[in-house]
Amino acid sequence: MTDTELGRALHARGLRLTPQRRRVLDAVRALGHASAEQVAEHLDRQGGSAAVDPSTVYRALAVLEDVGLVGRTQLDRRVPSFHAVEHGGHLHLVCDTCGEVAEAPSATASAMAADVLTRTGFAVDVQHLALRGRCARCRPGGGEP
């Protein structure tokens, strides 16, 4: 997303494109899946024009999430993880053994989400869904799925 497109998305919500918001979005893109603390650390390592206060990172992430440019998922049971949403929805597959985070298309869970809705009336947000288990390398027998 260009600065112009980002500026329009923010302006449509009555917000401005600030250098901090741009840097935070760029950091989220570079990191893939990262906590707010990891985003702040990444920005500190990059240096740049000025250090970004952690509270600024939290506020920027909240704004970018509200605008729909960043998604939040609970990957590690402790803190939320943020990711850019521009490449479409996806499931997060978290290995409890090695910690690897893989992705699968969100459509993979559409049948499960429809079944949950039918049975309980609860609408699952598959755009923010993390499934925990063991990856192919860590499963007994490993190898192919």
Domain boundaries, the chain: 3-84, 90-133
| Tens digits of pLDDT across the chain (145 residues) | 677 778 888 888 888 888 889 999 999 999 988 889 999 999 988 876 566 788 999 999 999 998 888 888 877 667 888 878 765 677 888 888 998 888 888 888 888 999 999 999 999 888 777 888 999 999 987 665 5
How far is Cα 28 from Cα 40, in angstroms, rounded to an integer?
10
Name the fold adopted by 3-84: Arc Repressor Mutant, subunit A (1.10.10)
Name the fold adopted by 90-133: Dna Ligase; domain 1 (3.30.1490)
Q: Is the pTM higher than 0.95?
A: no
Query: What are the DSSP calls for 26-77, one per residue?
Result: HHHHHHSSB-HHHHHHHHHHH--SS---HHHHHHHHHHHHHHTSEEEEE-SS
